[in-house]
Amino acid sequence: MSCRLPERIAATFLLASLALPALAQHPETLSWCDTLAQRLRSVEAESCRKLGLEPGNMRSVQGRPLMIRDVPAAPLKLSALKTNTGKPVQQRPARIFVIGGIHGDELTSVSIVFRWMDWLGEAEARQYHWRIAPLSNPDGLLARPSRRTNGNGVDLNRNFPTPDWFADALPYWKQRTKEDPRRFPGTKPMSEPETRWLHQEIERFKPDVIVSIHAPYGILDYDGPAQEPRRFGRLNLNRLGVYPGSLGNFGGVHKNIPVITIELPNATAMPAPKEQRQIWDDMLAWIKKHIVPQTLS
């Protein structure tokens, strides 16, 4: 039996309201996804638009939005632990900040974040609160050809405010890199909007672990207080060293936040699907073992 008119209208409104999240997308998200899909074969515009990415509150040097996605954890079951007064211990889920594309010519460091975002709905991942910046240097990636540095020619991964910056960053660049333009740290720490934005997100989100993705060294690097990871997929721990102004130095050494640096083996060709998955599974296993949820008082 067909439903009466008021019920049909109500059903129409219900369907319309269910569809709202898709309609309410920021227009910049749509054009950002289109632009990225044209540049990266592994990113589909249509699925990118559905991910819930939004422009952050700052822009790149050339005015592009810096996109971010926040994925809260599934509600935690009340802990079996009890306080002295018999109340269940309240915990907040561990927070994970994933940063892709800080070097614009490392295309796979953006593509793999899109693979991982497809898996955030799985039970293992839903234990955590995720914040994801898939492309933190859009001007570098979208330049023709793509380049490591941002729109001002600064290596963002040498522009973080480490305490040694003024003493070491420029001398290191001049003497050790022979003024390599790909490694210019800027004229002062946080001179670049992209660095200021990432720094702001770290201060706001207060992550328990930062995962920063690069290529093409095919290793795992680590800075920070927790037990170091030994192996994700085929990537073995191999410390590259600590650089003035790097994110690992800033986050891991000075902010005491574990920083995992994943160096994929190739900047333009993705690891095989099985290896993409193995890196993810090993990373989640390490986080589960070594990053404990914060207890709320």
106 or 282: CB nearest Zn ion: 106
DSSP bridge partners of 263? 214, 219
DSSP bridge partners of 236? 219, 231
Binding residue for Zn ion (CB under 5 A) from 69, 103, 131, 158?
Answer: 103
DSSP character string of 51-117: T--EEEEEE-TTS-EEEEEEEPPPPPPPPS-B-TTSPBPEEE--EEEEE--SSTT-THHHHHHHHHH
Interaction residues for Zn ion, span 111-150 (CB under 5 A): none
In this structure, are strands 90-92 and 65-71 parallel, antiparallel, or unpaired?
A: unpaired
69 or 103: CB nearest Zn ion: 103
CB of residue 88 to Zn ion, shortest distance in Å: 43
User: Quick one: which segment of 52-60, 105-113, 188-196, 254-262 binds Zn ion (CB under 5 A)?
Assistant: 105-113
Residue nearest to Zn ion (CB): 214
CB 267 within 8 A of CB 216: yes
Dist. CA 202–CA 205, nearest whole Å: 5
CB of residue 214 to Zn ion, shortest distance in Å: 3
106 or 223: CB nearest Zn ion: 106
CB of residue 103 to Zn ion, shortest distance in Å: 4
183 contributes a contact to Zn ion by CB under 5 A = no
Binding residue for Zn ion (CB under 5 A) from 64, 115, 129, 214?
Answer: 214
CA dihedral of residues 259, 264, 270, 275 (deg, nearest 10): -80
Site residues, Zn ion (CB under 5 A): 103, 106, 214
